[in-house]
Structure 1
């Protein structure tokens, strides 16, 4: 079976057939899903909820990303490598364990999804074409929200986050395919007309999320396995920047980031079906693992935590297909743990 490459998004640049032509390991304790590991780091056992997708014959892959709850509490996902005509955005009924198509098209390679607090539409990053696309909540009325160059270079937008006013903050993985540190963090105004580079010379920028108080952005760099913090003022201007956490991932690399109501970071791992959980002060709190590291599952890209609750839904993918796993998060879900 074909293994996922170093970063699935890197493969998108080579998929000409698509329109691109994108811890702890102790056994569970009495509670069944948690056990105490050495120090503060503990293992949280995630449990399989359902298989959502199979590997696509056309692309040789499937990759679930961007889990996000809509206003009615329904969970949506994107399949990054879905070929033309196959579901690229899906809605999952977690109670009935069913999924149905919400949107498809002939070219998009969508790597994240999040609802805007400004207009309520669903925003998607199209990594392959350097665009940000929006949909009506039901998946209709597709519009290109942003396209074109930023400071003379087209983006490869990966993940996104919204501030309270509806402005977008995008991790631009530019330079990934060349192995060069050309990545950026880009701010796009809520009208889609003005784009500003907030940080550059980054090593394949990937996950991005505001902290719990909207005082700054956490962002990860895939090929450096590090998480940095970007302090922002009320106008979205950078006030500070520093490396905050170095992730000991081994062969795994830092993927998407989510933040819960206590400010804890959930760092997805590409190359291992697990997540590393940190406090906002950099303390490793837990590792989310799937039982037995199920065969054929190689990456845990992202999570959505139920808004106002602690039930977390984790997207896990590999040659075995695309799956949803569930676990109890350390704190309640907020906007920063719902999409992106």
Structure 2
């Protein structure tokens, strides 16, 4: 979950207030690549369509959590959408059309992913401190988990599922106070037990399993780093270290996706681009949007077509919320489809 133009305080002020209270295209090769300094690739992402404009009620729009459903439609959340406007949209990327999938008066939804256990769509409610779920058709809203974990209320940001359907949540506690109180929380698939796996992290944001489900990549927004948490067979953390230090300049580390080759796609808040690393921390490429970027200030997340390489990146700013398309370095898997 991220904001514009100075994410941590500005967006959370807007989100706190929320808790209280067209289509354009651009032609071109979506996989166009060029060399950049140091031999790293620059991959150009091309505009597919505009999904949202800045909302009058909130003064902003912020797209997140792209994930494909079983029919190949792309679901996208708008973090700052007010009640009555689409909080989750269903997008036909072939026809370039979008319609409301879900709206309500309660949630500030920052990520979305389908469970491998029950097939429902799970959403993190950052302001409400809850995890909710929807039926695949967008109905039957249920609260999956709510309440404190180890005595502290969550600010759930992104999520990832293990193969059995247990949830792993990036809890961004301490973000507004600029304190390192972020956590990684595991919630059993029945919602009955929540366990803190790691704490004292710097505004935990993106979270994704590695290719073999042996560990978790976790981005820490206020330190511009990606930590790696090694897991045992029961899902407990056995070791933890800083794996990648992201040289983002004014941009900060946002959501994370992982492709079939284990490459990390690190979203950037403060720049409409993504950085791509291999599992050993080598910078492989930068995903850029072409031309003038006035009014576009973040590339929060990406979904790569399951079994294919076409990727859809959520890009937002005062100019609106957009989908951009590019060719990924490898095929899409569960860890590059939501969260």
TM-score scaled by length of structure 2: 0.95
1:19 aligns with 19
SS in 1 for 2:291: helix
Superposition pairs of residues 187-266 of structure 1, within 5 angstroms: 187-266=186-265
Matches within 5 A, 1:98-247: 98-247=97-246
SS in 2 for 1:285: strand
The root-mean-square deviation of aligned C-alpha atoms, in Å, is: 1.5
2:26 aligns to what?
none
Separation in 2 of the partners of 1:218 and 1:293? 32
1:241-291 Cα shifts (integer Å, max 9, x gaps) = 110000000000000000000000000000000000000000000000000
- 1:85 matched to 2:123: no
| Matches of 1:31 and 1:309, distance apart in 2 | 13
Query: Alignment length, in residue pairs?
Result: 330
CA distance 1:209–1:9, shift in 2 (3 Å):
farther
Runs of 4+ in 1 over 6 A off after TM superposition: none
- Contact kept? 2:183, 2:199, Cα under 8 Å: yes
Q: 1:135 to 1:281 in 2, by over 3 A?
A: same
Query: Which consecutive unaligned segments of at least 5 residues does structure 1 have?
Result: 22-29
The 3 A distance-change label for structure 1 pair 10 and 214 is: farther
CA distance in 1: counterparts of 2:150 and 2:31, whole angstroms:
51
1:337 match: 336
Structure 2 distance, partners of 1:160, 1:195, is 14
SS in 1 for 2:11: helix
Partners in 1 of 2:184 and 2:120 — Cα distance?
22
Match of 1:58 in 2: 57
Q: Which structure 2 segments of 5+ residues have no match?
A: 22-28
Q: Give the deviation of 1:79 after TM superposition.
A: 0.2
Contact 1:266/1:275, CA 8 A, preserved across alignment: yes
Shift of 1:72: 1.2
Q: Give 3-state SS (helix, strand or coil) of 1:12's partner.
A: helix
Q: State the shift of 1:13 in Å.
A: 4.2
Using structure 1 for the length normalisation, give the TM-score: 0.94
